[in-house]
Amino acid sequence: MLLHCFPVSTATNGVGEKSGSYCTPRGKHSIRAKIGASQPLNTVFVRRRPTGEIYTPELGGQYPGRDWILTRILWLSGNEVGFNRLGACDTMRRYIYIHGTPDSTKLGHPGSKGCVRMRNADLVELFDLVPVYTEVCIVM
């Protein structure tokens, strides 16, 4: 049963499970960790930790090449051994997240380095709805 539908953006490089491919992994996953509860909208994360920065267009202009991970992180873990779990295809070891992105990011078009990008307000809604170990299926 579909409860919600949100626009997203996936990898510029398309789909794929191989480590180092910068592709979005397909298949069955679980949310292994939820990071950033109670952080303000547009909190900037690096290595899953808040940096103390709040994203603004001016900050984005200072760092135009930065891959912005904002607001919340839902860290994914593959559920399919040999496809997206373990070895050179392990989604979690690839640090694949569902995360927030600047409001200026055009969703519905490829643009990430493998993660699934969402609008910050949508991500907060999703984050608050789903517990750890919720299943996520990525199909494209």
Q: What digits encode the pLDDT tens for the residues 27-79?
A: 999 999 999 999 999 999 999 999 999 999 999 999 998 999 999 999 999 99
- Kindly state the average pLDDT of the residues 76-96: 98
Domains of the chain: 8-138 (2.40.440)
Query: What Å distances lie between residue 39 and 12, 35, 57, 86, 103, CA to CA?
Result: 28, 9, 19, 31, 17
- pTM recorded for the entire structure: 0.96
> Does the pLDDT at position 1 exceed 80?
no
Tell me how far apart the alpha carbons of residues 59 and 51 are, in angstroms, rounded to a whole number. 13
